[in-house]
Amino acid sequence: MTPNTLFQHTDIILASSSPRRRELLAGMGVPFRIADAYPVEEVWPAGIAPQEVPSFLAALKSKAYPGTLTADQILITADTVVIHDGRVIGKPKNRDEAIDILHRLSGSAHEVVTGIVLRNDRTEKHLSETARVVFGTLSTSEIEYYVDCYRPYDKAGAYGIQEWIGYVGIERIEGSFYNVMGLPTRLLYAALTDFIRTQHL
């Protein structure tokens, strides 16, 4: 069954402002529309394990969606976090914070975890995938060059793997490259196809 046939009767709604997620979902051959922006306070309870944070936030975004879903719709919400030394590394607020984050990631390994929720009016499916990323040692001038040229203030961990720093700074990845970009595409495609087939049995 081709993507055109599989998805032709399903209204897929992506609730994300991330241009990377839009690019990845389009690259998967999935027809979708973007949900109108709505407010979500992205905070998580104290004591939650760092690896559980993205799944918690993806569920929070799903619950906050203001629209009413039908059986022929699928809402996709997602969140990606970087975990280094047991701590969640969020998006940098400014240049100094981005530089500090990248100094911490330099010469070490970290995890990138993405949580996803698929939901319609009667079913909810939770997904999670982890990749391990190893950075080589970056000089201060390299870090400052990247931050000043690419301004990675909208990216967890202060970097985009598809940008210059990914080409020159990353030694290896264990897991999905696309997960590090923001969506584990193989996992999501399999889950979407299974979700649609299950709903139409």
Q: Report the alpha-carbon distance of residue 33 to residue 42 in Å, rounded.
A: 23
> What would the DSSP string read from start to end of 11-59?
EEEE----HHHHHHHHHTT---EEPPP--------TT--GGGHHHHHHH
Q: Report the alpha-carbon distance of residue 162 to residue 144 in Å, rounded.
A: 18
Q: Report the alpha-carbon distance of residue 196 to residue 173 in Å, rounded.
A: 31
- Which of 79, 100, 154, 194 is catalytic? The answer is 79
The answer to whether 79 is a known catalytic residue is: yes
Written as one letter, the residue type at 95 is R
Handedness of CA 99, 163, 36, 45 (dihedral sign): negative
Helix (H) or strand (E) holding 169: helix 164-169
Name the nearest CA neighbour of 186 among 40, 77, 30. Answer: 30
Which residue(s) pair with 11 in the sheet? 73
Q: Which residues are catalytic?
A: 79
